[in-house]
Each structure stands twice: as structure tokens, then as C-alpha cells.
Amino acid sequence: MSELLKLENISKYYTSGQSVVMGLQNVSLSFSAGEFVAVTGESGSGKSTLAKVIAGILPYESGEMTVEGKPTSHYGQPDWELYRCGRISFISQSYDILPGCSVFKNVVSALVLTGMESARAAEAAEEILNRVDLLGQKNRKAAKLSSGQKQRLSIARALAKPAPILIADEPTGNLDPENSAKIIGLLADAAKERLVIMVTHDFEEVKAHVTRQICIREGVVASDLCLRQECEVAAPMSVDRKENRGLSFYTAWLQMESRPIWSFIMLLFFALTAFAMFVFLGTFVANVDDSFTRLYDTSAFPNGDSRRIVVMRQDGEELLQEDLEVLKGLENVVELERFGLLSDINYYYREDQDYFYHYIPKHDQAGNPTGEIEITITLGEPELFLRTIPYGMDTESFLTGGRLPENMYEVVAHGDESLIGTKMQVLVSDNKKWAPGSYIRLNVTVVGVTDREGNLFFDSQLGRVFMSETELGRLIAPVYSLDFLEDLMIEGDSLEGRFLCSQGIYQEIWTIVWLEQGRDSDISMNQLIREKEFPFCYYEDPDQKIMLKAYGVHNSTYINFIMVEPEVFERITPELFGNEIALTIKDYAYTDRVLQKIYDLGYSAISPYRLGTTKQDPKLAAERLATLKICILAALAVFLLQIVVMRAMFGMEEEEFRLLANLGLRCRMAKRSVLWQILAFTAGGQILAVAVISFCCYLGIERIVFILKYLQPNVIVLFMIIHLATGLLTSLWIQAAVARQVFPSGLQYRDLKMNA
């Protein structure tokens, strides 16, 4: 009979703090395959210590244990691991089962962990279950079995592993006599092909089956009796281990499946941390831009609309239609105003709200009131900014009634169809460039209505008018209707080649003519002025120079403003696109994104709002700083919480790792299993968090919507990576803990003893 296992003078001490407790002392024993050994003794005598030393779970301090003739005293951690995997099946008093998995899965997994492929494992599992009388319970959850059945399942799992040494530490401790007998029968069966060592405090129940009884007393072998002949075993069993990469993945899945509630809590927890990181880091990112904490200064850009972006070509040239198409098509761009210049120019149209009439009674020469009324106008607070029909706007979707304007005296208004046909006076004033209180008066008619926000939408011709600066620095506008000019007009029969000008220009012209002609001239001054030709040159092109004659005075108060006939206007201002356009974006939050896209396309662009906010509001600035601090601290807290909770949660699984290790799971695999599980929880948690965030958006929860606006896709990816990194970092810690606690190194223990 070949000797399978030999212990020579084995001693084992437990050191806890300063005290040293003796576990085993100079134990010498030898075992062969086919033996069924009962280890008996009082409680605390050292039975479990012996079983665990033999199982390679506890290292010994002195003596020598030889297995199949090979000494083990020099073994390091990897050697012990291989030993446990290849030589030992261990059954403890508490059932070594995966409670959340089915009975069948419990056995199959034990086989797969020994390296068997799953199809063969399934076949073998049926056979083993049949042997332990559990085939009928195959699909039941292991947790639902009775305690006897659980222990039988635990034995089935141990039997599934073809290891030559099977050690059972009080396997019947929790069972009634009937179930105990069944277990002992199974172990006796197992002893037909291997060495079975069973620790028990009740020798009577095993007496009929065992081949040998070893009695331990205070760590010493008190007696070693041979009771009957052991079985003949032809060749010792061996584990044919094939380690494949899929095994760690399989283990991870098995572990998650075996404790569904634990896994579910972990998943929720990861979703929670992903969501919390999103909220805190997101709020941080949203508050990086400090524009909101500043006061807007209108001196550079009167229009402080935060959604406006002004775009120019880098060479300053006109933006052509193709440029407009590209810019309009950009993501997050809602509207495009072809004449960006207009969006800083104010207009006033509501009497007694935007502008105020002043009625002054007239008197005759004697000072008696004549009842006549003279009118002057004061402009109110600038509030509205000019806008034309947005570029490329689909008429159908823009208008709710009427038609689009065809010239600068027609507008689309916000309101219902009853507005169509309304005539109104619009006063336009460039508060930044013109003298205070000066304006151009436009009498417009509403030709269309829209449900768009904003009050009046002008024809793009208005943009051309404001861009048409002559070389004299004067603005020109076409004359369409002279009704409102009649009072102030100098009479004349034709407008051909003539212009109307404002009072100031008229004065200027008058002075020029007066100086040229001399005081003595007896020709009427009005006559003279009307004969005088003024050259106007546009766009540095001398060929476009045309001569215009002064014709009359219009009633706008802006000094540098002349009016010409429409045909003349068309001639001197060809189709213009302007060299500055204004985009309206969905939300200020998208400013950086849109600006970047525009830069990438090779244009220059600015956010007037951002440039206009220069001075910090101390209260808002302090609030923002506090928010930034809180966000960082909260994100850090989430980070730490995740590490601590994960470590604690995996700490709860130590027993399970131990039982898997008994079945042959190696340390490396266990570590990888931890990694896979954490990766799975991270991915699952992130998906869940995305779902929650989407739902919050659907519900319109303001804070979430606000944060999302500020997060570019690459930032979201960064958040995911940070969340993942937290998991991976913790996984290193957990892996180290699992390795330390579940797979102790023999050398470590020996070092301890040497120090002592």
C-alpha cells in the first residue's frame, strides 16, 4: 500500500499578540489512499488544527509533511495553493454551498472550477447528484434545502473534485442521526478511491465504517488504532487542471449569481455613486464659467443676451451664403441673424412704454394759446433689439398668419392675426454710436404674425440699410413712403437722383452752398441746395460713385442719415450678406461647445455676453466659490464612501472565497474575479445612472437638465472613467485583502515563529 501522506513531528502554534497557544505538538502520522480515518478527541484538543494543517489551510511551524513522497516544509504561498487545488477536497461543518445557486449549478461550478469543460461537467454533475440522492432537487435553490440535504450537496461538491485527499471537519455536527448516517455512508464510499479523513467528536456514529481511529488529546496523538483493512486503490486520483482565461469570468458570474441580494445592493450602490458623481462633478463643471457671477456692462455690446454668439470671418470679409449655411447647420444653433450688427441696435414701438409723446400748446404772437399741439418724443429704457426674419427660416413654421415682409417698412409681429394691417411707428436708435436720444423713424405696417417670442421681425433690407455706410460716414435708407415726411419736405417734383436728409445734414449742406455762392447771391437758397450735387461712393469702387442732389429734410432726428429712392438704394447697396452675423444658441451652457466648433471651421467668434461681463458681483462670486468647494468635497466623499462600502461588502464574502478556494479557485483567479465583479457593477451602475438621469430629464428636474447642458460628451466619458477608476482602485485593495485572508502564505507564518 503506497503512502500518500506523512506527518513527521509536526507542530503548530497559534500566536495571538504576546501569547502562544499550542495547536499540535510533535504529531507523526502516515496515511494511504483507501483509508477512512476518524479523528476524534475532546473539544479544543486540536482535531480541526490537524485537519487544516493536512488540508494546507494552516501552515505548520516545525516538522515535515510529505505528500506522495515530496516534502512541503519549504512551500511558499503558490505551492500551498497548488497543493490545495490539486490534492485536497475540504468539507466544513458549515455547508460549503452557494446558497443563491441551484443544486445543479453548485455541483457543475465545482467541476468547472477544477478545469472541466461545462458540457462534461453537466453530465458528471447529474451522476454525482444521483449518488448523493439529490437529483430530484436538481433545480431547487440550494438555500431552500434542509440541513441534511445541504450537507449532502456540500459533499457532492467536494466529491466532484477528483482530489486524492478528502477532509471533512465535523460534517455531521449539525445533523440528526438519520442524515448523519447518510453522510457517513457517502464518505465511506468516497474512501474506496481516496484517503478520507473525518473529524468527529462522536466516534460511535462512524465506528461501523472507519478503517482507523486517531485520538488527539491536547495537541498530541493519544492513540492510533487500526480497526479494519482499508480499500485497495489502484491509482491515486489526480486533478487534471486546465486553467483557462474564462474561469475567472465564470467565477465572477457565479459569485454574483450565488448572492443575488448582495449583487443587487452592490448594483444600486454603484448606480448611486455614479449618479452622485455626476451631480457633484457636473455641478462643478457647470460652475467653472464665472460669467453668471459678473455684472453685465453694456458699453461694448448693448445687447447682453447670453445666448448670442457673433461670428466673423478671420479675414474680416463678407460672409457668403455658403458660410451662413454651414453656421446655421451647427449643433445647438437655433437661429441665425444675417446682420449681426442689428442685434445691438435698439428699437422702440410701444407708445408710453418704449417712447413718450410730449404735447406742447402753441401760442399766437400775442401769447394766447391757439390750441395747436407740437410733439416731441423721448425714448424710454432701451429694451428691445432689432431682428430680421431669421436666416433660412421656413415660412410655414415661422408665420402663423399673413405673409413675410418685402421691404423695411413691413414687419412680422408676435401676436394673433388681428394685428395684420396695423400701422405703427418704430423708432430705431443705435444707442452706442448715435447721439443720445436720436432716432430714425420708420412707419411700418404689420403684414404677418408669428408665435415666435420677440416683438417685431423686420425685412433683411433693414440690415442692409444699417450696413450701408457711405464714405462720408452716413447711413442711407430707401424712401418708400413719403406720407410722414410731407410736412418737412422741401417741395419738388421728382425724386430721381435726389436724397432726403436729416435736419443736421441739411444745415451742413446749406453752409457749404452759402460759402461757395457767397452771401450776395440773390438766388433762393433752397433752389441752390437742390441744384447742388453730392458724390457718394460705396465700397471703395469708384465706378459705383453716383451723384445725388439734396432734395429735402426728413423727420428722423439722427444726424447722419439720408434717404434715397428704392431704385437708387438697390443700385448702391448690392445684395449684402454682411461681415458679421449673430447666432442664437439653445442655451448659454452650450457657448463653449459652439465656439469651439466655429473656431474649428476657421471663423472667429465671440460671446458678447461673456465679454460684457467684466465686474464681479461679490455675493454671487462668493456663492459660486462655495458651490465649487462643496462639489469637490462631496465628490471626494462619494469617492471615499465607495471605497469603504465596497471593501466592507466584499469583506462579507470572505467565507465564499474560502469555500471556492477549497474547491480549487486559485488566488490569481479570485483576484480576477473581484476585478470582473467590480467592472460588472461599475458598468451596470453607470447604465442604471444613465437611465435615472434620462428619467430625471424626462420629468424636467431642473438641476439635472442644467448640469447636462454643460457637460460635453468627452466630459461625461471622463466622469465615467473617474467612477471606473474609483472601482478599480478599490478592487486592488479588495484583491490584496482576499489574497491575505483567504490564501495565507506559509512563509509568512514561519517568519512569525522565527521572530518569536
463 binds, among ligand ADP, Mg ion, none (CB under 5 to 8 A by kind): none
494 binds ligand ADP (CB under 6 A): no
* Residue 172 lies near ligand ADP (rule: CB under 6 A): no
Which of 46-54, 291-299, 557-565, 675-683 is the region at the interface with Mg ion (rule: CB under 5 A)? 46-54
Q: How far is the CB of 654 from ligand ADP (least distance, A)?
A: 15
Nearest-approach distance from CB 95 to ligand ADP, in angstroms: 18
Listed in sequence order, the residues at least 6 apart from 360 whose beta carbon sits closer than 8 Å to its beta carbon are: 373, 374, 375, 376
* Burial per residue of 643-674, b for 16 or more beta-carbon CB atoms within 10 angstroms, e otherwise: bebbeebbeebeebbbbbbbbbbbbbbbbbbb
**Candidates 13-21, 222-230, 664-672, 689-697 — which segment interacts with ligand ADP by CB under 6 A?**
13-21
Region near Mg ion per CB under 5 A, out of 48-56, 224-232, 282-290, 722-730 = 48-56
Please state the separation of Cα 713 from the chain's center in Å.
Answer: 8
* Closest listed residue to residue 271, CA positions, set 717, 707, 686: 686
What CA–CA distance (Å, rounded) separates 684 from 407?
60
Identify what 41 binds: Mg ion, ligand ADP, none; CB under 5 to 8 Å per kind.
ligand ADP
200 binds Mg ion (CB under 5 A): no
The CA-CA-CA angle for residues 379, 381, 382, to 5°, reads: 90
**Residue 368 interacting with ligand ADP (CB under 6 A):** no
Rule CB under 6 A: say whether 756 interacts with ligand ADP.
Answer: no
CB 252 within 8 A of CB 680: yes
- Residue 173 CB, shortest distance to Mg ion, in Å, is 9
Give which of Mg ion, ligand ADP, none residue 470 binds (C-beta under 5 to 8 Å, depending on kind). none
Of 310, 236, 134, 166, the C-alpha closest to 663 is 166
What is the closest distance, in whole angstroms, from the C-beta atom of residue 167 to Mg ion in the complex? 12
Burial of residue 216 (CB within 10 Å: 0-12, 13-18, 19+) is buried
Of 14-22, 413-421, 449-457, 728-736, which part binds ligand ADP (CB under 6 A)? 14-22
Contact residue for ligand ADP among 5, 29, 40, 41 (CB under 6 A): 41
Whole-number Å distance between alpha carbons of 491 and 512: 21
Regarding 47 and contact with ligand ADP (CB under 6 A), the answer is yes
* Among 641, 344, 564, residue whose Cα is nearest residue 463: 344
Q: Binders of ligand ADP among 233-262, rule CB under 6 A?
A: none
- Measured between its terminal Cα atoms, the distance across the chain in Å is 40
Say if CB 220 and CB 26 are below 8 A apart.
yes
Rounded to a whole number of angstroms, the minimum distance from the CB of residue 57 to ligand ADP is 11
For the CB of residue 66, give the shortest distance to Mg ion in the complex, in Å.
25
Q: Cβ 179 to Mg ion, closest distance in Å?
A: 20
Residue 18, interface with ligand ADP (CB under 6 A)?
A: no
**357 lies in the site for ligand ADP, by CB under 6 A:** no
Q: Which span sits near Mg ion by CB under 5 A: 43-51, 286-294, 456-464, 591-599? A: 43-51
Q: What is the number of residues in the chain?
A: 756
Put the strands of the sheet holding 308-313 in their side by side order.
333-337, 581-585, 308-313, 603-606
Min dist. Cβ of residue 209 to ligand ADP (A): 21
How many residues sit close enough to Mg ion to count as binding (CB under 5 A)?
A: 1
Among 10, 33, 35, 48, binds ligand ADP (CB under 6 A): 48
Inter-CA distances, 551 with 466, 477, 501, 685, Å: 21, 14, 8, 78
Binding partner of 450, given Mg ion, ligand ADP, none, CB within 5-8 angstroms per partner class: none
Q: How far apart are CA 559 and CA 485, in angstroms?
A: 16
Closest contact distance (angstroms) between CB of 13 and ligand ADP is: 9
Total residues contacting ligand ADP (rule CB under 6 A)? 12
Contact flag: residue 48 with Mg ion (CB under 5 A): yes
What whole-number distance in Å separates Cα of residue 661 and Cα of residue 650?
A: 15
Residue 59 interacts with ligand ADP (CB under 6 A)?
Answer: no
Which amino acid belongs to residue 574?
A: P
- Which of Mg ion, ligand ADP, none does 368 bind, CB closer than 5 to 8 A by kind? none
Q: Which amino acid is at 369?
A: P
Q: How far is the CB of 46 from ligand ADP (least distance, A)?
A: 4
752 touching ligand ADP, by CB under 6 A: no
- Assign 3-state DSSP to the chain and report helix, strand, coil percentages, each to 5: 45, 25, 30
For residue 545, what are the CA distances in angstroms to 94, 494, 499, 653?
105, 21, 15, 91
Is the CB of 169 or the CB of 410 nearer to ligand ADP? 169
Which of the ranges 39-47, 235-243, 482-490, 647-655 carries the binding residues for ligand ADP, by CB under 6 A? 39-47
Shortest spacing between CB 752 and ligand ADP, in angstroms? 12
Instruction: Walk across the sheet containing 220-226 and list its strands.
Output: 88-91, 165-169, 195-199, 36-40, 212-217, 220-226
CB of 210 to Mg ion, least distance (A): 18
Smallest CA-to-CA distance from 388 within 375, 401, 407 is with 407
For residue 279, the one-letter residue type is V
Beta bridge partner(s), residue 96:
none
Question: Binding of ligand ADP at residue 46 (CB under 6 A)?
Answer: yes
Helix (H, G, I), strand (E, B) or coil at 357: strand
Q: Which window, 45-53, 456-464, 567-575, 595-603, contacts ligand ADP (CB under 6 A)?
A: 45-53
Tell how strand 440-450 and strand 410-414 pair up. Answer: parallel
Binding site for Mg ion (CB under 5 A): 48
Binding site for ligand ADP (CB under 6 A): 14, 16, 21, 23, 41, 43-49
